[in-house]
């Protein structure tokens, strides 16, 4: 839409009585979508999706979307997994995550193809996973779509984006067999990173968290050897002396703690997306003086093409995650502590806004 | 001095507004901008066609600067005012004047010693509806004032406390050490100021209950203050930043001859007297007011006061008196008893 038209529409909208605006906006969006459907000869589809309608308020809302282009597929969702850090940050309006409301959260979904574009390479009934919001139905595009291998549970496949986030972090960490690895934070990303670090050869593997509330799911076969609760033993950090520390909390305090937990010359992997401000950190003493290497590992920096040993592409990481699920090397279903009906999203996001309480993986079940 | 050259310190949301209004006032120009976030300083400097300063010290060392406009976190008001005064610069400081009366005293002493003027940005009193309310009260529409009620409720999201709304993010608002308190000192201080302005009364005794029930940090997000205004009127303040879905902002002033209601719709007046050409015994609404730029008015008034060598309209004393009410309210809950609000003595 040209800027001049956006400007005119904006002016009209802001001069309209406030009570009329939601109705006018709905009529405009619906009209525009129908016009696009007509001009592009695409179908008009309907579904239900979760929306953040204001700070700390989620609701299930009907929505409309255009049918697939020749390269896309339309998917009926079976499961979608909450990305707790990112979604909480937007829901609560944290630094770096300010978005206008209503906002459509979610980007990790598994479902079944119900309409396949002629050039998509998929057929109706195919099982797929990829970047789709928390919605009953929607589109998957080639850049963010994976075929789910036979034998992989669809609930596990819905962890696809979280798996990619963790795999690229593990890859950048360069963990070598027998290295002492600590994972700061035992939320969903922390626990997934712990399991993938084990696969990469971490030994011993130490799970570190602010409290013991997620201790039982963090420790056990294929997981961490030891659990450190900072609430019980604040001085434990300096004794960890890890070769590699993976920061999976997303706060400036956790980054500082991660550097403390690393041995002199160790590596700290910044897997969490920091959502607060840390102005008064003594970087000289916590990083430079101790020869710590800080490695940024955010999914946004993943290349689309031109992979290298330390930086695989998004597509490569996604295929690997699903292959690991298929081979049984990785399990994530047991991390699902809450399989919620989408209609319960309001209650679910109240818990997410509070920090998730004892929950690890929260998944919406769209088959219910 | 007909024209004041101002160095803007801080480039957050309020600073941007203040700087633009300073230029609009026609009484001042912005010489430069400093912020710890250099990009924010550059962006604001470009908007007001000014330069940027590499540091606060550089800003106040400039001989082409007459005054500083401090739109910085509360705990910086004292050291920045002291340094600016020592450098011979007038001071326009964002509200509240400071976090404590000790800090405010030091700031006032420094400005007096240096012979520079200071004003506090309680510019809401320049809003036409506030000016009208004062005019009506002074005309006797309410008789002797007997009651004052403030209702101020809204929702401040988590990001507000974490600094997410600002161009120079900082979580100082959630720290009592840095901010001096929560919703009372941050927002309701405006209501206290313009009620002082409208009624001509000042709080003399207060008791409060407050808590932090839905926000991070250690500053209050809900507060109730019971108070005596002057030697007769009784006032109440009910305020919070954790109320969802039914924002409320209203002041009610009543007296022996009438009632005045102030809210986002304007003013409503009931008076037993024929005031302002209105019939007595009826409710009259004042909904239409001239467009105004209250911050520009505040700056114009300050420049004029400096030119004439007079006390600025929102003076340091008034900032001090406002803070005296707030500090007493906070302290009353700590000691579990009503507190007499100290009076300004120099």
DSSP B261-289: EEETTEEEEEESS--TTPPTTSEEEE---
Name the class of domain B4-120. Answer: alpha beta
For the stretch A239-255, pLDDT in tens is: 999 999 999 999 888 99
Sequence-ordered alpha helix ranges (H) in B48-100: 56-61, 77-86
Q: At what angle do helices B316-335 and B101-114 cross, to 10 degrees?
A: 160
Look at residue A168 and tell me whether its pLDDT is greater than 90. yes
**A275: chain B residues, CB-CB within 8 Å:** 162
Q: Higher model confidence: residue A114 or residue A215? A: A114
Instruction: Indicate the pLDDT class of residue A204, thresholds 50, 70 and 90.
Output: very high
Q: Express each pLDDT in A16-73 by its tens digit.
A: 888 888 889 889 989 999 999 999 999 999 999 999 999 999 999 999 999 999 999 9
Kindly tell me if the per-residue pLDDT of A305 is higher than 90.
no
Tell if the CB–CB gap between A95 and B158 is shorter than 8 Å: no
Taking Cα atoms as reference points, which of A168, A218, A216 lies closest to residue A188? A218
Global confidence as pTM: 0.84
Residues of B in contact with A95 (CB under 8 A): 159, 162-164, 169
Q: Where in chain B are the domains? A: 4-120, 125-294+323-340
Is A55 close to B170, i.e. CB distance below 8 A? Answer: no
Closest CA in chain B for residue A89: B159
Residue B168: the pLDDT is 65
Disruptive mutation site among B162, B166, B213, B247 for chain A (greatest number of A CBs within 10 Å): B162
Q: What is the ipTM of this complex?
A: 0.74
User: A91-95, B109-113, B147-151: which has the minimum mean pLDDT?
Assistant: A91-95
Task: Give the whole-angstrom CA distance, residue A248 versus residue B98.
Answer: 39
Residue B225 has a pLDDT of: 98
- Considering only the top CATH level, what class is B125-294+323-340? alpha beta
Query: B237 has which bridge partners?
Result: B150, B225
Nearest CA in chain A to B161: A94
User: B165 or A57: whose pLDDT is higher?
Assistant: A57
Question: Between A56, A98, A279, which is nearest B164 by CB?
Answer: A98
**Interface contact B157-A56, CB threshold 8 A:** yes
Per residue in A101-148, pLDDT (tens digit) is 999 999 999 999 999 999 999 999 999 999 999 999 999 999 999 999
pLDDT at A40: 92
- B68-81 average pLDDT score: 97
CB pairs under 8 A between A and B: 38
A94 to B159: CB separation less than 8 angstroms, yes or no: yes
- Within 8 A of B171 by CB-CB distance, chain A residues are 276-277
- B163 and A275 within 8 Å at the Cβ level: the answer is no
On whether the CB atoms of residues A266 and A244 are closer than 8 A, the answer is: yes
Q: How confident is the model at residue A306 (pLDDT cuts 50, 70, 90)?
A: confident
| Predicted local distance difference test score (pLDDT) of residue B163 | 84
Q: How far is CA B63 from the centre of its chain?
A: 29
Q: Please tell me the predicted confidence (pLDDT) of residue A158.
A: 98
Beta bridge partners of A145: A130
Residues on chain A touching B157 (C-beta within 8 angstroms):
55-56, 92-93
Cβ-proximal residues to B45 (8 Å cutoff; 6+ apart), any chain: B30, B32, B33, B51, B52
The 10s digit of each residue's pLDDT in B76-90 is 999 999 999 999 999
CB contact under 8 A, A98 and B162: no
Q: Please give the mean pLDDT across all residues of chain B.
A: 95
**Is residue B230 less than 8 Å (CB to CB) from chain A?**
no
* CB–CB contact B159 A277 (8 Å): no
Q: Which residue has the higher pLDDT, B44 or A15?
A: B44
CB-based contact A93 B171, cutoff 8 Å: no
Measured distance CA(B142)–CA(B129) in Å, rounded: 16
Chain A CB within 8 Å of residue B164 CB: yes
Quote the pLDDT of residue B1.
Answer: 65
Q: In this complex, do B171 and A92 lie within 8 Å of one another by their Cβ atoms? A: no
């Amino acid at each position: 839409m040209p800027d001049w038209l956006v400007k005119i529409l904006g002016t009209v909208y802001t001069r309209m009585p406030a009570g009329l605006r939601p109705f006018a906006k709905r009529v405009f969006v619906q009209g525009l979508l129908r016009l696009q459907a007509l001009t592009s000869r695409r179908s008009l589809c309907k579904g239900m999706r979760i929306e953040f309608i204001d700070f700390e308020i989620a609701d299930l809302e009907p929505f409309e979307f255009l049918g697939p282009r020749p390269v896309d597929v339309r998917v009926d969702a079976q499961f979608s997994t909450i990305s707790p850090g990112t979604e909480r940050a937007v829901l609560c309006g944290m630094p770096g995550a300010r978005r206008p409301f209503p906002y459509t959260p979610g980007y990790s979904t598994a479902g079944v193809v119900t309409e396949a574009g002629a050039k998509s390479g998929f057929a109706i009934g195919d099982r797929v996973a990829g970047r789709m919001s928390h919605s009953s139905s929607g589109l998957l595009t080639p850049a963010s779509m994976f075929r789910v291998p036979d034998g992989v549970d669809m609930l596990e496949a819905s962890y696809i984006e979280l798996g990619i986030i963790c795999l690229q972090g593990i890859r950048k960490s360069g963990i070598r067999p027998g290295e002492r690895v600590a994972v700061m934070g035992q939320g969903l990303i922390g626990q997934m990173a712990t399991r993938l670090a084990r696969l990469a050869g971490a030994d011993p593997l130490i799970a570190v968290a602010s409290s013991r509330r997620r201790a039982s799911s963090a420790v056990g076969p294929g997981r961490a050897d030891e659990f450190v609760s900072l609430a019980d033993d604040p001085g434990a950090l300096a004794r960890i002396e890890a070769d590699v520390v993976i920061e999976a909390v997303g706060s400036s305090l956790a980054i500082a703690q991660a550097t403390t937990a690393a041995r002199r010359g160790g590596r700290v992997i910044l897997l969490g997306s920091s959502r607060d401000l840390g102005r008064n950190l003594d970087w000289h003493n916590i990083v430079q003086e101790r020869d710590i290497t800080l490695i940024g590992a955010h999914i946004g920096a993943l290349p689309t093409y031109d992979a290298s040993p330390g930086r695989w592409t998004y597509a490569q990481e996604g295929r690997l995650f699903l292959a690991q699920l298929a081979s049984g090397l990785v399990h994530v279903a047991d991390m699902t502590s809450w399989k919620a009906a989408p209609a319960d999203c309001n209650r679910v996001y109240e818990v997410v806004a509070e920090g998730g309480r004892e929950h690890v993986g929260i998944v919406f079940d769209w088959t219910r | 001095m007909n024209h004041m050259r101002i160095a803007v310190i801080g480039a957050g949301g309020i600073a941007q507004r203040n700087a633009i209004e300073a230029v609009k006032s026609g009484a001042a120009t912005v010489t430069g901008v400093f912020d710890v976030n250099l990009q924010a300083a550059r962006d604001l400097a470009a908007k007001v066609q000014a330069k940027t300063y590499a540091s606060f010290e550089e800003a106040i060392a400039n001989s082409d600067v007459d005054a500083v406009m401090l739109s910085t976190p509360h705990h910086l008001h004292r050291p920045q005012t002291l340094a600016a005064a020592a450098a011979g610069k007038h001071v326009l400081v964002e509200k509240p004047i400071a976090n404590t009366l000790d800090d405010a005293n030091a700031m006032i002493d420094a400005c007096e010693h240096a012979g520079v003027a200071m004003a506090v940005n309680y510019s809401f009193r320049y809003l036409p509806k506030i000016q009208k309310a004062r005019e009506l009260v002074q005309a006797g529409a309410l008789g002797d004032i007997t009651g004052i009620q403030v209702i101020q409720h809204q929702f401040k999201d988590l990001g507000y406390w974490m600094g997410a709304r600002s161009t120079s993010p900082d979580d100082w608002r959630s720290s009592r050490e840095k901010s001096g308190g929560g919703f009372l000192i941050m927002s309701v201080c405006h209501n206290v100021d313009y009620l002082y302005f409208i009624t001509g009364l000042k709080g003399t005794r207060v008791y409060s209950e407050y808590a932090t029930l839905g926000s991070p940090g250690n500053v209050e997000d809900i507060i109730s203050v019971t108070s005596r205004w002057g030697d007769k009127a009784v006032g109440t303040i009910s305020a919070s930043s954790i109320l969802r879905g039914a924002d409320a902002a209203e002041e009610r002033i009543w007296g022996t001859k009438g009632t005045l209601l102030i809210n986002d719709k304007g003013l409503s007046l009931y008076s037993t007297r024929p005031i302002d050409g209105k019939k007595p015994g009826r409710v009259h609404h004042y909904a239409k007011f001239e467009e105004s730029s209250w911050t520009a008015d505040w700056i114009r008034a300050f420049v004029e006061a400096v030119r004439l060598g007079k006390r600025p309209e929102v003076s340091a004393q008034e900032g001090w008196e406002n803070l005296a009410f707030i500090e007493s309210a906070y302290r009353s809950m700590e000691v579990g008893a009503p507190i007499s609000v100290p009076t300004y003595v120099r």
